[in-house]
C-alpha cells in the first residue's frame, strides 16, 4: 500500500463530452480555472488538454496551451503542470478506401505533436506508448515505435518528465524498452489507463498485471474511466500507486449528479485518507517523481 499519494486531476480531456456535461471546461480560462480549483481541492498535478472554444472539440493549438499554463502560473497557486501530447495521433480509417483518412483524422509527425511543450516547459508531459483501437468504430490511436522514440528523445532533451501512458500490456513493454534504450530518464513515471475500449479493462487483475511489469523503482499512477474511477483510486493506493481523477475520465460525482473537478479530487482525497494514507502536495510530488521545476 502507498502511504503518501499524489493525486493528478485530468480536468477536461479531448473526448466529445462537451455536450454531455453542462460545465465542462472548454476555453483556456475555464481550463486554467479548473486546474486551480483542482489544486485547491488537493491535486498536486493537473493534466491538461485544450479545446476549440467554438466547437468544444479537442485541439492542439500551442497558443491555447500557453494561455492555460500562463494563467495557472500567474495565479500563484502551486501545482505541477502535465501537458498532453496525445493529440495528433488520431486516424479514422476510410470506410470506402481504408488508406483515405476519414473525417476527424488528425495524424501528424511526432515533433509536431510535442511542439507546444518547447515554449511552455511543463514539469511533465504525457507520452502515449502504443497503438490501439480506440472505442467502437474506425478510430485508431497511432503511436509507432519509431515515432515514440523521436518524441521521447525530444522530451528528454527539454528536461521534461514524460508520463508514460500505458493502455495495455504491450504499451508497458514498449515503455520499458525505451527506458532500456536510454530515452527515458530514471525514475520513470507510468500512467496505467484502464477501461478505455479496447485497451485493458478497469479491473484489479489488469492493474496488477501491468504494475507487476514495471521496472524496480518506477513511479506509477492509475485511473479507471466512468463508474470505475473511484474504485480504481482505492485499488491503485492498495497496490502501491498514485491516482488520477477528473472530468476527462468521468463526468459524475454519483449516479445522475454531474461533478466538478474539485469535487472529484475531494472525493479521491476522502478515499485515500479513509484507507489510512496521506495526500501529498506539489513539492512532495516533485521530490517523489524527480521533476525539474521550470522557472
Number of H helices, E strands in the chain: 10, 18
Q: Is the peptide bond before 187 cis (omega within 30 degrees of 0)?
A: yes
Determine the pLDDT at residue 292: 82
The pLDDT, as a whole number, for residue 294 is 63
Ranges of the chain whose pLDDT falls below 50? none
Assess if residue 125 is contained within a domain: yes
Nearest to 5 by CA among 250, 251, 245, 166: 245
Task: Count CA atoms within 13 Å of residue 210 on its CB side.
Answer: 32
178 inside domain: yes
In a domain, 294, yes or no: no
Query: Where would I find the beta strands (DSSP E) of the chain?
Result: 4-5, 7-10, 45-48, 50-51, 58-59, 80-83, 89-92, 106-107, 124-128, 132-133, 139-141, 161-166, 189-194, 219-224, 242-245, 252-254, 257-258, 278-279
- Total domains in the chain come to 1
* The model's pTM: 0.96
**Dist. CA 183–CA 156, nearest whole Å:** 7
Determine the structural domain holding residue 112 and report its residue range: 4-289
Cell of 22: 453542462
Hey, is 110 helix, strand or coil?
helix
**Residue 295: inside a domain:** no
pLDDT in tens, 158-216: 999 999 999 999 999 999 999 999 999 999 999 999 999 999 999 999 999 999 999 99
Helix, strand, coil % in the chain, rounded to nearest 5: 35, 20, 40
CA distances to 4, 84, 92, 236 from 104, in Å:
41, 19, 7, 34
- Give the CA distances from residue 262 to residues 7, 179, 278, in Å, rounded to whole numbers and listed in that order: 12, 34, 18
Cα separation of 39 and 25, whole Å?
15
Residue 201, domain member (yes or no): yes
284 lies in some domain: yes
Q: What is the CATH number of the domain that holds 50?
A: 3.20.20.70
The owner of cell 468504430 is 137
In a domain, 235, yes or no: yes
Q: Give the pLDDT confidence score for residue 24 in this predicted structure.
A: 98
Amino acid at each position: 500500500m502507498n502511504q503518501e499519494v499524489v493525486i493528478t486531476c485530468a480536468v477536461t480531456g479531448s473526448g466529445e463530452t462537451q455536450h454531455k456535461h453542462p460545465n465542462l471546461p472548454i476555453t483556456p480560462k475555464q481550463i486554467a480555472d479548473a486546474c486551480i480549483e483542482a489544486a485547491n481541492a488537493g491535486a498536486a498535478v493537473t493534466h491538461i488538454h485544450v479545446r476549440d472554444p467554438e466547437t468544444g472539440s479537442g485541439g492542439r493549438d500551442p497558443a491555447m496551451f500557453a494561455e492555460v499554463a500562463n494563467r495557472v502560473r500567474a495565479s500563484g497557486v502551486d501545482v505541477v503542470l502535465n501537458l498532453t501530447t496525445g493529440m495528433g495521433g488520431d486516424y479514422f480509417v476510410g470506410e470506402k478506401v481504408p488508406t483515405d483518412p476519414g473525417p476527424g483524422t488528425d495524424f501528424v509527425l511526432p515533433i509536431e505533436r510535442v511542439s507546444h511543450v518547447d515554449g511552455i516547459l511543463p514539469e511533465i508531459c504525457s507520452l502515449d506508448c502504443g497503438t490501439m483501437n480506440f472505442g467502437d468504430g474506425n478510430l485508431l490511436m497511432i503511436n509507432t515505435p519509431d515515432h515514440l522514440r523521436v518524441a521521447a528523445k525530444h522530451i528528454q532533451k527539454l528536461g521534461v518528465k514524460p508520463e508514460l501512458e500505458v493502455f495495455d500490456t504491450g504499451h508497458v513493454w514498449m515503455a520499458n524498452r525505451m527506458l532500456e534504450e536510454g530515452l527515458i530518464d530514471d525514475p520513470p513515471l507510468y500512467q496505467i489507463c484502464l477501461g478505455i475500449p479496447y485497451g485493458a479493462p478497469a479491473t484489479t487483475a489488469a492493474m496488477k498485471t501491468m504494475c507487476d511489469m514495471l521496472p524496480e523503482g518506477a513511479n506509477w499512477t492509475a485511473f479507471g474511466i466512468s463508474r470505475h474511477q473511484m474504485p480504481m483510486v482505492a485499488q491503485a493506493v492498495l497496490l502501491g500507486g498514485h491516482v488520477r481523477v477528473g472530468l476527462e475520465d468521468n463526468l459524475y460525482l454519483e449516479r445522475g449528479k454531474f461533478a466538478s473537478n474539485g469535487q472529484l479530487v475531494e472525493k479521491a482525497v476522502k478515499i485515500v485518507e479513509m484507507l489510512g494514507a496521506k495526500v501529498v502536495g506539489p513539492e512532495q510530488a516533485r521530490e517523489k517523481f524527480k521533476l525539474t521545476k521550470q522557472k
